[in-house]
Amino acid sequence: MTLAEKAGQMTQHSWGFGSDEVARKEAATGMLGSVLNAPSLEERNRVQKLALESRLGVPLIFGRDVIHGYKTIFPISLGLAASFEPQLAERTARAAAREAAEVGIDWTFAPMVDVTRDPRWGRVAESFGEDPCLTSAMGAAMVRGFQGSPGDAERIAACAKHFAGYGATESGKEYNTTWIPEPLLRDLYLPPFRACVEAGVMTMMTGFNDLNGIPASGNAFLLRKILKGEWDFSGFVVSDWASMAEMIKHGLCEDDADVAKVSAKAGVDLEMATRTYAKHLPQLVEAGVVPVAVLDDAVRRILRVKHELGLFDEPYRKTAATSVAVCAEHLALAREAAQRSVVLLKNEGALLPLRKELRSLAVLGPLADAPLEQLGSWSYDGAVEAAVTPLAALRARLGADVKLEYVAALPDCRSGDASGIQAAVDAAARSEIALLFVGEPANLSGECRSRAFLELPGIQAELVMRVAATGTPVVLIIMAGRPLTIGAVCAQARAVLYNWQTGTMAGPALADILFGDVAPSGKLPISFPRTVGQVPVYYAHKNTGRPPKQDRPQIPTGTPLDPVDFDASYVDVEVTPEFPFGFGLSYAKFEYGRVQVTPARVRQGETVRVQAELRNTGATAGVEVVQLYVRDRVGSVTRPVRELKGFQRVALAAGQSKTVQLELPTAALAFTDADLQERVEPGKFEIFVGGDSRAPLGAELELV
C-alpha cells in the first residue's frame, strides 16, 4: 500500500456530511476505508463496487448506529439492563444484527458500556446503569449477539464505547470533562470494556471526553498502554464523531496536522467524520513525525476486522428474498424483552394485576398512544408503523366488554397547556381504574440531552395530582429514558410501573403485565434519587469515618466542638435514594432464608459457592432476581459498603421453594491498590444475598 492508501483505510466518510461525490472518487482510487450512514443497500453496493475496482480492491466496511434494534426496536439499554438477563440482551442484539446485515450494514456502534452514576446525563439511556458487574455482563452479551459466530452471514461487528470514563462527565453535561483517579478508573469504569474485549469485540470507540487532561481520542495511556498493551486488543479503534478534530477546541492540538499526529500515535486507527488522517498522515510519515509502523499497525487491524467479517469473500449484500425485519419472531422477542424490563415500584393493596371483572377503564396521558416516543432515542431506522402503543394493545385486548375512555390530556409531555386536563379528570371519575401514562419524550434523553432538573417535564405532575384527587385508583405508568425524581407523584398513585422506553411492542408487553399474564420481574439498574441535589447517589459508596446513622433529615444537635449527630447526611432530605439499585417488586412475594458459604475459609484462586434459600410465599408465580453482594471489611485502601458480584433470575410457582446457588470466584474480590496493582487481599468479607442492594448480611467469608 502507498502511504495515501494506508491513510485512506484509516478514514471514514459520513454520508450526507461533506461531498459524497468526493467519497465515491476516493473509494474508486482506494483512498477510503469505511462509510457511515450510507442511505440504502443499493448505494452501499454501488460504493462497494467502486472500492473493489480500485488498485488493491480492499472492501469498505459500512457502519450504522444499531443501538437497541434496527427496524424492530427493543427496550433502550437502561431498560434492558433492568431484566438482569444477559442472555436476553444477546438475543436482542442477534435479532438486530440479522435485520441490519440484510441491508448491507457491517458494523454497529454498540454496546455503550459507560458506567454512570448521574441520571442528569442524557446518555444514561444508552447505558446499562451504575454497576460494573451488571454492565460487564450485559455488554459482553450484546457483543456476542451482534457478532455471532465466524462465518455467520448475519454477523456485524460490535463496537464498545466510549473508551473511557465518559459516564463520569462532570455535572452530567454532554461532552464534558472527566477527572477519574486511576484506581477508580480501573475498578469502576474499565471492567465493562475489558469484558467486551474478552468477549471478542472487534472495535472500540473513543469518547468525546477529556480524561484527566487528555482527550480520549489522543489518550495513549488508554489506547496504547491499557487497551492494546495490557489487554492485547486485536481489533481497531475508531474515534467518535469529529472527536479527533475537536481536540483543537480542547486545547490539546494546534491544528489538523497536530490532530492527526496525536491521534495516530495515541492509537486511534480509524477517523470518523473528519479528514485529518487523509490530509496529513502521508506527509507526517515522510517528515519522520509519525512512524510508518503506526500506520501499518492501524491498517493491519482494520483489514483483520474486514477479513473476520468475510468482506473479502462476500463484499456485497443481496436483497433478501424474505426480509426478517419486523418478523413475527422478532416481534415476539421484543414483547418478551419489554415484559422483563418493566419495574414495579409500588403496588398498594395489590391493585395490580387488574381484576378480570373490570368493566370501566380510563386510559390517560400523553404517552398512552405515542408510538414514536416509546421507541426511545437512537431508533432512527425503527419501523414506527409497527409500534403497538399501550392504548392500541388495551383496546385490542378488552374489546367491547370493558368501557375504555381515552384522553391524552396534554398535547405532549413537555406541554404547559392545561386545557385538556379536565377531560382526563372527568374520565377518571367515571371509571373504576385510571391508567395514567406520563414521562419523557424520546428526544429528551440520549446524546446531548442533559437535564438539570429530573422532575416530570411540563405540567404532567399537575395532571397526576388532579386525576388522583378524583379518588379513582390510579396506576401510574412512567415511560422515560432515565431515572426521574418521582416521589411526589408516586405518592398519589396506588401502583407505579416504570416502563422506560421499551420499544416496538411496549403496548402488548404492558398489557400482559397489567392483567397478570406475566408478573413484573425487572429490577432497577441504577439508583433513583429523591431529588437532583443527591446526585450522584449510588449503592456502592464508601462508608466515610462518620456514616449516616439515620435517614430522617434533621439539624445536628451538636457543634463541631461536640459533634453529636455530625455524620454524612443531609439536613433537608433523607440520605437514601427514593428507590435503590436492584429494587423491583413482583405480584409474587419472595422471602429469603438461610445463606450459606462453602467453603467459609478459602484460598486465592478458588471459587466459593454461595447458597440461599428462596421461597415464593405469594399466591401467584413470579421471577425473582437474586443478587449477591460482597463487602471487603478491611483493605489496604477503603472499599465500598457493598459490591454486586453475581445475580440470577429464578422462577418460582406459588408456594415453591428453591435453594439458589451462585458462584463467587476469589478473583472477583480483586481491586486496584495504592500502588496501582490489581490484587486480591486476604481478610474477611461479608456476603449479602437478597432482592436489591439493601440485602441483609447473610454470611461471612475469610480469604487466607
**pLDDT tens string 271-286:** 999 999 999 999 999 9
Across the chain, what does the average pLDDT equal?
97
pLDDT tier for residue 636 given thresholds of 50, 70 and 90: very high
- C-alpha cell belonging to residue 52: 473493489
pLDDT tens per residue, range 58-81 = 999 999 999 999 999 999 999 999
DSSP state string for 81-92: HTT--HHHHHHH
Give which of 398, 333, 342, 306 is closest to 99, Cα–Cα: 333
CATH 3.40.50.300 fits 62-267+275-301, yes or no: no
Is the pLDDT assigned to residue 378 strictly greater than 80? yes
Q: Summarize the confidence of residues 490-519 as an average pLDDT.
A: 98
CATH 3.40.50.1700 fits 328-514, yes or no: yes
- Provide the CA 9 distance to its chain's centre, in angstroms: 31
- Provide the CA 444 distance to its chain's centre, in angstroms: 16
Is the pLDDT assigned to residue 551 strictly greater than 80? no
- Taking phi first (over 0 means left), then psi (-120 to 50 degrees means alpha), and beta for anything else, what does residue 381 get? alpha
Q: Are strands 495-498 and 622-632 parallel, antiparallel or unpaired?
A: unpaired
Give which of 282, 245, 279, 242 is closest to 262, Cα–Cα: 245
What residues pair up with 497 in beta bridges, in sequence order? 344, 477
Confidence (pLDDT) at 191: 98
CB contact at 8 A, 682 and 189:
no
Confidence (pLDDT) at 356: 87
Confidence (pLDDT) at 477: 98
> Residue with C-alpha cell 422462577?
651
Instruction: For the beta carbon of residue 43, count every other beta carbon within 10 angstroms.
Output: 16
CB contact at 8 A, 35 and 13:
yes
**Structure pTM?**
0.97
CATH 2.60.40.10 residue ranges for the chain: 590-703
> Residue with C-alpha cell 396506588?
494
Our answer to whether residue 152 is catalytic in this structure is no
Residue type, 62: F
Confidence (pLDDT) at 281: 98
Is the pLDDT assigned to residue 550 strictly greater than 80? no
How far apart CA 453 and CA 234 sit, in angstroms, is: 42
Confidence (pLDDT) at 442: 97
Confidence (pLDDT) at 188: 98
For residues 379-388, one letter each, b for 16 or more C-beta atoms within 10 angstroms of the residue's C-beta and e for the rest, the string is bebbbeebbb
CATH 3.20.20.300 residue ranges for the chain: 62-267+275-301
For residues 67-89, one letter each, b for 16 or more C-beta atoms within 10 angstroms of the residue's C-beta and e for the rest, the string is bbbbbbbbbbbbbbbbbbbbebb
Peptide bond into 13 cis (omega under 30): no
Q: Summarize the confidence of residues 33-55 as an average pLDDT.
A: 96
Straight-line distance from the first to the last Cα atom of the chain, in angstroms, rounded to the nearest whole number: 56
CATH number given to 590-703? 2.60.40.10
CB contact at 8 A, 356 and 422:
no
Rg of the chain in Å (alpha carbons): 26
Confidence (pLDDT) at 156: 98
Confidence (pLDDT) at 174: 97
How far apart CA 294 and CA 319 sit, in angstroms, is: 38
Residue type, 508: P
From 65, 106, 240, 692, active-site residue: 240
CATH 3.40.50.1700 residue ranges for the chain: 328-514
What are the CA-CA distances from residue 72 to residues 337, 364, 503, 663 (Å)?
A: 12, 26, 8, 35
Residue type, 197: V
